[in-house]
Structure 1
Amino acid sequence: MIILDVLLYAFIVVVFIQVVYYLFIFGNFAFLKQKKPSSKNFAVSVIICAKNEAENLKTFIPSIINQDYPEFEIVLINDGSYDETLDVLENFAKKHNNIKIVDVKSIEAFWGNKKYALTLGIKASKHDYLLFTDADCEPVSKHWIKEMSAYFSNEKSIILGYGGYSKIKYSFLNKLIRFETVMTAVQYFSFAKLGMPYMGVGRNLAYTKNEFFKANGFIKHIKVRSGDDDLFINQVANSKNTAINFSNNSFTTSIPKSNFKAWYKQKRRHVSTAHLYKSKHKFLLGLFYLSNVLFWVLTITLLTIAYSWPIVLSLFLVRLSIQYLIIGFSSKKLKEIDILLLLPILEISLIISQFAIFINNLISKPDFWK
């Protein structure tokens, strides 16, 4: 009986922690109204690093070329590709004079390290305002550059955007991928709004060249193969220099993985950098994940044995209702509203996947970016 009482009290504490996170942290994004700044038309360098992306480049580079913006260049980085990537880039460059190619040859010291290639691309860019996306990404609007660059100012030198994934009908994996993407965005947008920015995604991220060189680029984590986006932002972002942009025309979409093994491998690579975040970020993110795990474990345990089930069920429904409220408003902002239909199942599936990834990464290091 004492053990069951302890479990019940622990459940009450866990629900309280979850409610605090959802209402007072994630609610900052869920209920936030985007204030659109006036366009400033800064000259922008769009930087795309590609490794064996010939087919994706043929498909998606036109959406960058056709952006409605007065002055921008496109810096296309060929990171030691062994397919036809360089040929594709050169064909685009012949037709458009605002395209610059940076052909990076693999060298032993930085083999497989995207940060080396990005550094050369940044150095080759001619504009002070940099906008990043991936070779398999497509802006949802021809106003993407305009929308993202509008948030630069004398104070704001880092802009965090949203990079989603295209939808695939009748695919549970696709919904899981997009649910994880939404949850990640809700967290980094919310913490940034609270003055504690901790990451961004390279699919849609902007910062100034001055910010990059002031931090000596990626030098602090150059030996870590991942983290050109999140580790760099974790290092340089603060409450004064960071803005968030979730206007619909600022989104990008990427091609999602089509099988669980490929997605799992990708996520192993993505989360391998989290242990290098600042301590306060690791604590806050870790506490949220732990409370998430305990919420479901204790809910299932206490309801299965029917111990104080009216209290347990009531608290479960309170937390679930608040979650639906916050994720509902957030997913509507991000145009991902369909994930709500399977929210509890997606959350449990993600928790299990994240736990498996954590264990896998303890046993062996994930592969580098390509």
Structure 2
Amino acid sequence: MEQFLSYFTLDVIGIALLSTLLIMLFIQIYFYLAYYKKPLSYLKQIADTHEEITPLPSVSVIIVAKDESENLAKCLPSILNQDYPDYEVIVVNDGSTDESEFLLKNLKREYPFLYSTFSPYSDANETIQNKVLPLTIGIKAARKDILLFTEADSLPMTNQWVKSMVNSLANKDIVVGYSRFTESEDFSNKTALFDNLIFTLQYMSMAIKDKPFAGLYKNLAYRKHLFFDNKGFSATLNYDNAEEVFVNYIMTDNNTAIALSQDSYVSTELDNFSHWRKIKTAYSRAKFNFKGFTGGVFSLETLSRYLFYSLAIASIVYSIISQLWVYLGAAILLFIIRYIIQIIVLNKASDHFLTNRFHLSLPFLDLIQPYYNSYFSRISKSKKRRKK
């Protein structure tokens, strides 16, 4: 009996470690159930009430491409063969020197609703960051009421993409869609897939909670009047990646919808680590200028995540050294509880968003993902400049 009771020795350090670990676990469970599980829960809520819009409004699909003839050759056939009654496709050739113009000229013979315009390169355009000028040209050329944006490296996964995005828009002004990354055996690809899933769950859950903060031009739509009502990109023109900041600025607590149907997805071929870094640093530069602190709530999730792992390791090591086996069992149990909740929530989301499931690699990806985001943020800060 004495030996049995000895297992339950009160140890101040052990209790302090386990108590703090338990608090971090509660914070983590809160984020997983209140945020990361939210998009799929919301999908079930609207399943019986979602109706198709009739009549379907006219749509302008806008693509900005610079020296991307190979990507255009892959994505345009899918975009040009959408099952939608009234839409046009506008490709803004952003000073390309490759075969883009020749490709577009040939496709226009077959598809009369394909239009192209040209954004010539000049030194003067260096003051207009990234895609602002070509996007403005494309938007002003658009003749339809709804502007649907994608990029040359992103391929609609079905011929229902336009219809699905429009139906998701419903009576809102903005709809943010999902872009999945293609899979490869490269380790950085697995990290990118995990990061993309987490980021998707973050911006979609916040939009559901009427606190939208981000939408990417890989899969995004908004009503044309929003652009002109806000005088185009003029309010964000002084920022790097002004087009992304513009989306953040025009989002309100009641004008943004999300597209959760798999028909609304686009797929982006992730070539290598450099490609992922380019995508992430571009977003990071824009994020520095977002209004409010909406997306910053997930900084608490990241902090509690690292504290949870640190405290779990500390509790396990201390329990082994002190031969406190009940404390050791409690620490391992708390770790397993979080892992089970995490793997259930994320793998259900992975299935719906058509990306890899996560198993034994999950704890490692969980730890390294914030490191990569910090790395990309540091790169962005070093390149960030605000024009005077």
Q: TM-score, normalised by structure 2?
A: 0.86
How much does 1:264 deviate?
2.7
| Deviation string, structure 1 residues 58-109 (Cα, Å, up to 9, x no partner) | 1111111111111110010111222222222222223321111120012434
Contact 1:30 1:326 in 2 (8 A): no
| Deviation string, structure 1 residues 261-290 (Cα, Å, up to 9, x no partner) | 442343222222222223331431222222
Contact 2:21 2:311 in 1 (8 A): yes
2:111 aligned with 1:93: no
Q: Secondary structure at the match of 1:67?
A: coil
Q: How many residues align?
A: 362
Contact 1:176 1:350 in 2 (8 A): yes
d(CA) in 2 for partners of 1:65, 1:261? 30
d(CA) in 2 for partners of 1:165, 1:361? 22
Q: Secondary structure at the match of 1:279?
A: coil
d(CA) in 2 for partners of 1:278, 1:12? 34
2:311 aligned with 1:298: yes
Aligned to 2:39: 29
Determine which of 231, 249, 253 is the counterpart of 2:263.
Answer: 249
Aligned to 2:22: 12
Change in Cα spacing, 1:18 to 1:132, as seen in structure 2 (3 Å) is: same
Aligned to 1:60: 75
Contact 1:268 1:366 in 2 (8 A): no
Aligned to 2:8: none
d(CA) in 2 for partners of 1:326, 1:338? 11
Q: What pairs with 1:57-206 in structure 2 (closer than 5 Å)?
A: 57-111=72-126, 113-153=130-170, 155-168=171-184, 170-206=185-221
Letter in 1 for 2:154: C
| Deviation string, structure 1 residues 310-367 (Cα, Å, up to 9, x no partner) | 33222222222221222122112112253445322222221221232233334x1169
d(CA) in 1 for partners of 2:372, 2:235? 30
d(CA) in 1 for partners of 2:317, 2:241? 42
Change in Cα spacing, 1:281 to 1:338, as seen in structure 2 (3 Å) is: same
Contact 2:207 2:256 in 1 (8 A): yes
d(CA) in 2 for partners of 1:350, 1:204? 23
Aligned to 1:234: 248
Contact 1:44 1:127 in 2 (8 A): yes
d(CA) in 2 for partners of 1:212, 1:4? 58
Letter in 1 for 2:183: K
Contact 1:178 1:339 in 2 (8 A): no
Letter in 2 for 1:251: Y
| Deviation string, structure 1 residues 96-144 (Cα, Å, up to 9, x no partner) | 2111112001243432521221011101100010111110111110111
Greater C-alpha radius of gyration: 2
Identity over aligned pairs, percent:
31
5+ residue gaps in structure 1?
Answer: none
Change in Cα spacing, 1:83 to 1:228, as seen in structure 2 (3 Å) is: same
Change in Cα spacing, 1:102 to 1:7, as seen in structure 2 (3 Å) is: farther
Change in Cα spacing, 1:280 to 1:62, as seen in structure 2 (3 Å) is: same
5+ residue gaps in structure 2?
Answer: 1-10, 321-326
d(CA) in 2 for partners of 1:286, 1:137? 29
d(CA) in 1 for partners of 2:115, 2:223? 18
Q: CA RMSD in A?
A: 2.3
Letter in 1 for 2:223: T
Aligned to 1:357: 376
d(CA) in 1 for partners of 2:22, 2:207? 28
Moved more, 245-254 or 23-32: 23-32
Contact 1:28 1:194 in 2 (8 A): no
Aligned to 2:277: 264
